[in-house]
Amino acid sequence: MDMQVAKKKLGLKERYAVMTRGLDWTPSYQKMEDIYPYMAYEGIKIHDWDKWEDPFRLTMDAYWKYQSEKERKLYSVLDAYIQSNGHLNVTDARYLNTVKLFVSGISPLEYVAHRGFAHAGRQFPGPGPRVACLMQSLDEIRHAQTQIHAVSNYNKYYNGMHDFHHAHDRVWFLSVPKSFFDDAITAGPFEFMVAIGFSFEYVLTNLLFVPFVSGAAYNGDMGTMTFGFSAQSDEARHMTLGLEVIKFILQQDPANVPIVQRWIDKWTWRGYRVLTLVAMMMDYMLPKRTMSWKEAWEVYFEQNGGALFKDLARYGITIPKCTEHIALEKDHLSHQAWGTFYNYAAATNFHTWMPDADEMEWLSAKYPESYDKYYRPRMEFWREEAAKGNRFYNKTLPMLCQTCQIPLVFTEPGDPTKICYREVDYKEDKYHFCSDHCKKIFEDEPEKYVQAWMPVHQIYQGNCFPEGTDPTVEGFDPLAAVMKYYHLEFGRDNLDFEGSEDQKNFAEWRGQATKNA
């Protein structure tokens, strides 16, 4: 009689091997370089893809199961938040501008990250990194989607978010995050992985997501907070992948080290320049602060990042030189950034304001070296003028950096009274930069950056008006035409928070919820 033997269940490890590496095959009638055409041109040499150590053993079927469970939890919390008019529980209506900044500046990047990882995943000949990239690609589109869903509730009540993706592709300051990611996805797959997988996801992500999510938690925004928690386990996986990629590339060939070092230097700086938006959000936009930008930089970069680069020293990687420059800017960055948005508040999709007396005290206490000496005088002047009905609106377009596309608002390292100007002559034209680092990035690949879509120059070329606009008619108002092109309504989506429709509505609705009219 035959014995019935229970079918042996695959162990986790075997299951992973079968479902991942087991799906790969060696082509017999096509050449590898035809199937993976982008593997050589960046100069990275990989000798053995099998040396790739999978940083996490997750198979696709398990992936779907985990994610759908998280999704159910997220949406049930969101529903409860929405049904109980949770938006009226945020600290004060100024907080909503953080949400506007997030959905128009950051969420569209999640979508581009989805595309970038899909592209990189397609290009890697190793099945391990290919599957890891596939999962990250799916995570990123899920993040874009859940963020948009979480924020859509605010869009029902408040201004500036109604066409966030249209804005992302056009509005002058949104070209900063947009061009950052466009730069990454137009690079080769290895540079993309170092740029986004490592420099952004590993080195800088704590300075992006932690401030937004803890900012949400401190300010009663349960929607954004819940999204943040839902994404957390994905982020942990992304960080692991980012680190594995770097180590793998560095171990494969010593010739890879200088290339990777150049990318780390470039992308740490590029990412840091995008974080300018986070710095001002932390110090100025959150009614209830979590910590200052300077403290965040010290904890998340100088301490944690310092340890990381010590660890990478054995592969021949050194901490990017730009971090010395960043250390000099940490007392100034958020103040210069908020001043910029206060200047150009007529052309943004969110409101700005001057800090009140208590908030200025907080800024003095957090920035004893810089705030009272350099920034308080101009902010008090602005506040006094606004009180007199003479609120400052700068309506002349600024000079931009060719690489990061931020206006030249940053001061010389070590001298906060002088704007930092740098320039390069390339072929027939001059190009201008905010810093030595942005200049160096340009000089490494001028052919790429001469094509930059610089919002100010595009406006002057006449490319940022609605179709059919005639800029030669008498009384033509360029700002009004540009706002129409942005799909933003002058007087509603822009200008100061004081007197805005958001301010008025929030006060009225909260009043209905807390008082007997």
Task: Kindly report the backbone phi and psi dihedral angles of residue 432, in degrees, each rounded to the nearest multiple of 5, phi listed first.
Answer: -120, 150
347 binds other proteins (CB under 8 A): no
Stretch of 68-76, 101-109, 356-364, 391-399 contacting other proteins, by CB under 8 A:
391-399
Cβ proximity of 419 and 401 under 8 Å: no
User: Would you call 97 helix, strand, or coil by DSSP?
Assistant: helix
Select 239 or 401, whichever has its Cβ closest to other proteins: 401
Select 16 or 341, whichever has its Cβ closest to other proteins: 341
Cα–Cα distance for residue pair 216/106, rounded to 1 Å: 15
User: Would you call 503 helix, strand, or coil by DSSP?
Assistant: helix
Using left for φ > 0, alpha for ψ between -120 and 50, and beta otherwise, residue 398 falls in: beta
399 binds other proteins (CB under 8 A): yes
Select 126 or 407, whichever has its Cβ closest to other proteins: 407
Select 157 or 374, whichever has its Cβ closest to other proteins: 374
Cα–Cα distance for residue pair 367/355, rounded to 1 Å: 14
253 binds other proteins (CB under 8 A): no
31 binds other proteins (CB under 8 A): no
Amino acid at 431: Y
Task: Kindly report the backbone phi and psi dihedral angles of residue 424, in degrees, each rounded to the nearest multiple of 5, phi listed first.
Answer: -140, 140
13 binds other proteins (CB under 8 A): no
Select 83 or 417, whichever has its Cβ closest to other proteins: 417
Cα–Cα distance for residue pair 506/503, rounded to 1 Å: 5
Question: Do the strands 422-426 and 429-433 form a parallel or antiparallel pair, or are they unpaired?
Answer: antiparallel
Select 8 or 418, whichever has its Cβ closest to other proteins: 418
Q: How far is the CB of 297 from other proteins (least distance, A)?
A: 21
- Token pair in block for residue 284: 């100025």
Which of 43, 316, 368, 511 binds other proteins (CB under 8 A)? It is 43
Q: Report which of 399, 397, 391, 360 is spatially closest to residue 377, judged by C-alpha positions.
A: 360
Amino acid at 438: C
| CB within 8 Å of 406: residues ≥ 6 apart | 173, 176, 273, 276, 400, 434
Per-residue contact string for residues 307-346; x = within reach of other proteins by CB under 8 A: -----------------------------x--xx--xx--
66 binds other proteins (CB under 8 A): no
Cα–Cα distance for residue pair 402/444, rounded to 1 Å: 13
Cβ proximity of 143 and 149 under 8 Å: no
- Token pair in block for residue 312: 């990478």
Chain position carrying tokens 């052309």: 347
119 binds other proteins (CB under 8 A): no
Which of 36, 157, 229, 374 binds other proteins (CB under 8 A)? It is 374
- Beta-bridged to residue 422, according to DSSP, are 433
470 binds other proteins (CB under 8 A): no
Cα–Cα distance for residue pair 293/333, rounded to 1 Å: 8
37 binds other proteins (CB under 8 A): yes
Stretch of 39-47, 139-147, 204-212, 305-313 contacting other proteins, by CB under 8 A:
39-47
Cα–Cα distance for residue pair 320/437, rounded to 1 Å: 11
Which of positions 414-453 make contact with other proteins (CB under 8 A)? 416-419, 421, 423, 427-432, 443-448, 450-453
Select 444 or 508, whichever has its Cβ closest to other proteins: 444
| CB within 8 Å of 63: residues ≥ 6 apart | 135, 138
- Token pair in block for residue 215: 């900012």
Select 219 or 340, whichever has its Cβ closest to other proteins: 340
Which of 27, 258, 306, 377 binds other proteins (CB under 8 A)? It is 377
> In the Cβ-directed half-sphere of 431, how many Cα atoms lie within 13 Å?
27
Using left for φ > 0, alpha for ψ between -120 and 50, and beta otherwise, residue 58 falls in: beta
Which of 15, 17, 36, 42 binds other proteins (CB under 8 A)? It is 42
Which of 397, 438, 481, 483 binds other proteins (CB under 8 A)? It is 397
Which of positions 171-210 make contact with other proteins (CB under 8 A)? 188, 191
- Token pair in block for residue 375: 């920034």
Per-residue contact string for residues 211-250; x = within reach of other proteins by CB under 8 A: ----------------------------------------
Stretch of 64-72, 113-121, 369-377, 484-492 contacting other proteins, by CB under 8 A:
369-377
Which of 36, 392, 465, 509 binds other proteins (CB under 8 A)? It is 392
389 binds other proteins (CB under 8 A): no
- Beta-bridged to residue 411, according to DSSP, are 419
Cα–Cα distance for residue pair 340/401, rounded to 1 Å: 14
Per rule CB under 8 A, count of chain residues that contact other proteins: 58
Stretch of 167-175, 236-244, 361-369, 412-420 contacting other proteins, by CB under 8 A:
412-420
Interface with other proteins (CB under 8 A): 37-38, 41-43, 188, 191, 336, 339-340, 343-344, 373-375, 377-378, 381-382, 392, 394, 396-400, 407-409, 411, 416-419, 421, 423, 427-432, 443-448, 450-454, 456-457, 460-462
